[in-house]
Amino acid sequence: ADADASPATESNALRTPIVAVLGHVDHGKTTLLDKIRGSAVSEGEAGAITQHIGATAVPLETVSQMAGSLVKPEDFDLPGLLFIDTPGHHSFSTLRSRGGALADIAIVVVDVNDGFQPQTLEALDILKRTGTPFVVAANKIDTTPGWNPQDGSPIQGSYDSQSDSARGRLDENLYEIIGNLSDEGFSADLYWRVQNFQKNVGVVPLSAMTGEGIPDLLAVLMGLSQRYMKEEMEIDVSGPGAGTVLEVKEERGFGATVDVVLYDGSVREDDVIVVGGVNGPIVTEVRALLQPRPNAEIRTEKRFDKVEEVRAAAGIKIAAPDLDDAMAGAPIRVVRDRSEEEVIEDVTSELAEIEVDTADEGVVVKADTLGSLEAMANALKEAEVPILRAEVGDVAPRDVAVASTAREMENKVILGFSVDVLPNAEDELETSEVRLFRDDVIYQLVEEYEEFIDERQRAQQETVMDKIIRPCRFRILEDHVFRQSGPAVVGVEVMSGTLKNNTNVAKWEGNKPTRVGQLSGIQEQGEDVSEVRAGNRVSIAIDGPTVGRQIEEGDELWTELPEKHAKILEQELSDEIPADELEALTGYLNKHRRRDPFWGK
């Protein structure tokens, strides 16, 4: 904006909105960022963009050149857009600020042909949770069959140059995306139909490859920021800086440094800063503020330029002593007009905000950043997986020790998100019962763990099923007594359930069950079998009774169930057993409960 029209003064200015790009893998996040940077550079002159640490600033002038008539510089007083260079919701959730997301606005990239995918949903969940406004870039429109590419054109012009069939195909895909958004609880429409961007999500059809639609995306981003975020962008640039650690990095000549996105105030050389660390807040003094050297000079010995001061919004590398334990995702604050204690308290309370609810029994969670730890904790809460301990950092021997204290086998588990395993922890893992699951995608990690649990439960049920006595009702057939006793051999029909050899046989007399003997053989068409399903007729041998005394032709008999087994079957396995067996179980329980209503409960 022209400086006279802007309300900004030396200390009070509008800062650049911070933009993050999210979406499913391969849907075109990187390509989109590259295209924006690339065409900014080719459109503009020197200074068309500024490369920050971890981010790229595109000034309003350049945005306007790229967007053509869609962005008139005189309509805006925000200075431009700051794009976070590392796309993906991993970095997005790392980039948290007090109470929410660090990015002011997000672009969710969706491949028009591939539609919604797991990470699209995950991105939307994160945006919903953090209350971040976003636009949907319906990407790869150039892959629509019959598409006639219009490089760099605004979407309306490009759309009008398509055949009816190509336009029809694209429309279909776009409406599918709009429908999917609505399924997720977002009222959405093509961006030119959206009246109120606070209530509705705008969908921008574009191609990161050909650039068509990118002018529209920039216009929506600028418009949205100018209209709804101007107040949040008003900052005191000479105030003490506030930012978030994006990454902790060893840098030759500087030791441990932190890459920081500054969203408020400024940082100067020699400022005292407080940084969130693994073992609490770190108080140190800025030794150097480093900006990347322009591309042309990057092959020289020095990759960074020192600067004296940086103002929000900016990405900056800070070199200072004692930063080894700094945590990615942690807050960083400049101590300037307040006491050190107050600032330490601020950082401490902000770190506490991210602390995860833990239980006495549960799994151990490790993640590479505070933000991803928080995201993991949320995903696990949703999956109802309790957490014993959650920390930022690689898997260490201590984690194995902690995990092995879990009582349940299914909690003797470490879930590692985007972390490494320290070599001595690997040895510990080998000799302990603890299982490690690792992944770089949260939903996959949770899924892997859930599969493990399911499998364990299935295996357990199978062993329980093997050991448990199963219900069966059967009937002695008329004229099928082959031997009176020692053992009694009779023909029976199995009415419901499965009759198994070596089980006890019971009969009801009035309200009372009586054991009549034990099954010692089953023959089906002359062959010995160990069990027989409902609906079949077999001859069986029963040790104990005599036909005509304890048992008679036509008697209804049951497999005798121990009370404990009946209880497990009813309460835990009733979904697992066949319908006819369930019928036998219910019949058996009902008979018992007529005498004792609490039997098997």
Q: How far is the CB of 26 from ligand GDP (least distance, A)?
A: 4
Beta strands in 405-526 (DSSP E): 413-417, 435-439, 472-483, 488-500, 504-509, 512-524
Of the residues 143, 378, 432, 503, which one makes contact with ligand GDP according to CB under 6 A: 143
Q: Tell me how far apart the alpha carbons of residues 58 and 215 are, in angstroms, rounded to a whole number.
A: 13
Q: How far is the CB of 29 from ligand GDP (least distance, A)?
A: 3
CA angle 265, 266, 270 (to 5 degrees): 140
For position 140 contacting ligand GDP by CB under 6 A, the verdict is: yes
Instruction: For residue 84, give the 3-state DSSP assignment.
Output: strand
Q: How far is the CB of 317 from ligand GDP (least distance, A)?
A: 24
Q: Tell me how far apart the alpha carbons of residues 102 and 19 are, in angstroms, rounded to a whole number.
A: 9
Region from 46-54, 139-147, 341-349, 443-451 binding ligand GDP, contact rule CB under 6 A = 139-147
Q: Tell me how far apart the alpha carbons of residues 496 and 265 are, in angstroms, rounded to a whole number.
A: 77
Instruction: For residue 504, give the 3-state DSSP assignment.
Output: strand
For position 117 contacting ligand GDP by CB under 6 A, the verdict is: no
Residue whose CB is nearest to ligand GDP in the complex, by number = 28
Cα 523 to its chain centre, rounded Å, is 56
Region from 27-35, 100-108, 522-530, 547-555 binding ligand GDP, contact rule CB under 6 A = 27-35
Task: Please report where in the chains the tokens 């009176």 appear, as a residue.
Answer: 484
Query: What is each CA distance from 55 to 39, 93, 224, 315, 442, in whole angstroms?
Result: 16, 16, 20, 6, 24
- Decide whether 206 or 429 has the Cβ nearer to ligand GDP: 206
Of the residues 61, 104, 122, 142, which one makes contact with ligand GDP according to CB under 6 A: 142
- Decide whether 37 or 336 has the Cβ nearer to ligand GDP: 37
For position 25 contacting ligand GDP by CB under 6 A, the verdict is: yes
Cα 462 to its chain centre, rounded Å, is 31
Task: Please report where in the chains the tokens 């995990």 appear, as a residue.
Answer: 403
For position 29 contacting ligand GDP by CB under 6 A, the verdict is: yes
Region from 28-36, 175-183, 535-543, 576-584 binding ligand GDP, contact rule CB under 6 A = 28-36
Q: How far is the CB of 88 from ligand GDP (least distance, A)?
A: 7
What are the DSSP calls for 184-232, one per residue? TT--EEEGGG-S-TTTSEEEEE--TTT-TTHHHHHHHHHHHHHHHSHHH
Q: How far is the CB of 387 from ligand GDP (least distance, A)?
A: 30
End-to-end CA distance of the chain: 76
Of the residues 6, 8, 26, 249, which one makes contact with ligand GDP according to CB under 6 A: 26
Per the CB < 8 A criterion, the answer to whether 516 and 540 are in contact is: no
For position 333 contacting ligand GDP by CB under 6 A, the verdict is: no
Length of the chain: 601
Q: How far is the CB of 175 from ligand GDP (least distance, A)?
A: 19
Site string for ligand GDP, 54-93 (x = CB under 6 A): ---------------------------------x------
Region from 22-30, 46-54, 404-412, 484-492 binding ligand GDP, contact rule CB under 6 A = 22-30
Q: How far is the CB of 145 from ligand GDP (least distance, A)?
A: 12
Q: How far is the CB of 585 from ligand GDP (least distance, A)?
A: 53
For position 277 contacting ligand GDP by CB under 6 A, the verdict is: no
Instruction: Name the region of 452 (left: φ>0; alpha: ψ -120 to 50; beta: rest).
Output: alpha
For position 39 contacting ligand GDP by CB under 6 A, the verdict is: no
For position 96 contacting ligand GDP by CB under 6 A, the verdict is: no
Number of residues that bind ligand GDP (CB under 6 A): 16
Burial of 442 (0-12, 13-18, 19+ CB in 10 A): buried
Among 323, 237, 325, 240, smallest CA distance to 287 is for 323
Task: Please report where in the chains the tokens 């005292």 appear, as a residue.
Answer: 272
Per the CB < 8 A criterion, the answer to whether 112 and 82 are in contact is: no
Q: How far is the CB of 561 from ligand GDP (least distance, A)?
A: 57
Q: How far is the CB of 394 from ligand GDP (least distance, A)?
A: 25
Q: How far is the CB of 39 from ligand GDP (least distance, A)?
A: 13
Site string for ligand GDP, 188-227 (x = CB under 6 A): -------------------xxx------------------
For position 27 contacting ligand GDP by CB under 6 A, the verdict is: yes
Per the CB < 8 A criterion, the answer to whether 262 and 242 are in contact is: yes
- Decide whether 19 or 489 has the Cβ nearer to ligand GDP: 19
CA angle 494, 498, 500 (to 5 degrees): 100
Residues near ligand GDP (CB under 6 A) are: 23, 25-31, 87, 139-140, 142-143, 207-209
